[in-house]
Structure 1
Amino acid sequence: MALLTFLIVVLRYGFDLGWIGLQESVMYLHAGVFMLGAAFTLKENGHVRVDIFYRRMSPKQQAYVDIFGALFLLLPVCLLILFKSGEYVMNSWRLLESSQAAGGLPLVFILKTLILCFAITLVLQVIAEVARLVFSLSNGFQDEQDASYSSTKTGA
């Protein structure tokens, strides 16, 4: 994606050449990275958080906060996105929607499908995270892996 962006800039400003399809392909790649990488980022605990209070909490308290956030904040938003975007994506598929720009990519319906993929993979990861946290709470964080997970969450 970075090389493609570099190529677009060199062609546009160095040779006064430009292709809408090439520019749109960067947008498609960018969307793919973010939409398909969100669940993995959650799994690796890579999302940005303001942890002024969180980092001072015990692993048990952190688990309760994470479960609450997952079930009452993240999961409802993901389900809302999933259900509200279904018809939007299906309409795009019915039309085999393509770019409105001349010379654009004829794959807008695939780009919009990433919205559903984003919501589905994130819902599945939320379920996995909550199950792992509940299991860890019921076992009292006895495994080293549980302890190391909570220390990575706090930045220690």
Structure 2
Amino acid sequence: MARLADLLDRINLAVGRTVRWLALAMVLVQFAVVLLRYVFGVSSIAVNESVLYGHAMLFMLGAGYTLLVDGHVRVDIFYARAPARRRALIDAFGHVFLLAPSMLALLYWSWPSVVNAWAVLEGPISVGGIPAVFLLKSLIPAFCVLLLVQSLACLLRALLRLGEPAA
């Protein structure tokens, strides 16, 4: 189980290491947008939208990596002081009964919209924008799958902790 969890971790590790560069790209593009608009009086809807696309990619594709590094916000009223076994139970419960069902529901309900967007190669959000809304909508199932992959890895680790002898 540990090997499978490590393999699943590597998927989100690779994705996270790749998409984190989008944060820098977004800052640079936004700087260019401001510079072009206020210094040179030039504006482009497509360039403005590219920041939106980068933001969507960063957060949707980086969510699994954030779960991998335990970077999500956690309301830890009970978790922080709980013994290791109880924390493993809380983690397992959360992955099986909260995260997985919500991601499966989102995947199920968003799929027709994504398929329709691809069928018509859905165009720009605004006139003059990036003609790739179908790609933007494709981030939703990618988000779900990457979170499910990482959730499975976390669940396997929680089960391994539950199988350890009590200290």
TM range (shorter): 0.7 to 0.9
Question: Is residue 144 of structure 2 the alignment partner of residue 124 of structure 1?
Answer: no
* Deviation for aligned residue 1:110: 0.6
1:49-83 per-position Cα deviation (integer Å, ceiling 9, x unaligned):
12132111111111111111111111111001111
Structure 1 residues without counterparts, runs of 5 or longer: 143-156
Cα displacement string for residues 17-38 of structure 1 (whole angstroms, at most 9, x for unaligned residues):
1100001111111101100000
In structure 2, what is the Cα distance between the partners aligned to 1:49 and 1:100? Answer: 34
Q: Tell whether 2:35 aligns with 1:10.
A: yes
Q: 1:92 aligns with which of 117, 131, 135?
A: 117
TM-score by length of 1: 0.86
Partner of 1:135: 160
Q: Which residue of 1 is the match for residue 50 of structure 2?
A: 25
* Alignment correspondent of 1:150: none
- Cα deviation for residue 139 of structure 1 reads 2.1
The answer for unaligned runs of 5 or more in structure 2 is 1-25
Compute the displacement of 1:91 (Å): 0.1
Counterpart selection for 1:41 from 66, 83, 86: 66
Runs of 4+ in 1 over 6 A off after TM superposition: none
8 Å CA contact 2:124–2:133 kept in 1: the answer is yes
Q: Distance in 2 between matches of 1:86 and 1:141?
A: 44
Q: 1:141 to 1:5 in 2, by over 3 A?
A: farther
Q: Equivalent residue for 1:154?
A: none
Per the normalisation by structure 2, the TM-score is 0.81
Aligned-pair identity in percent equals 44
C-alpha RMSD over aligned residues:
1.4
Q: 2-side partners of 1:111 and 1:100: how far apart?
A: 10
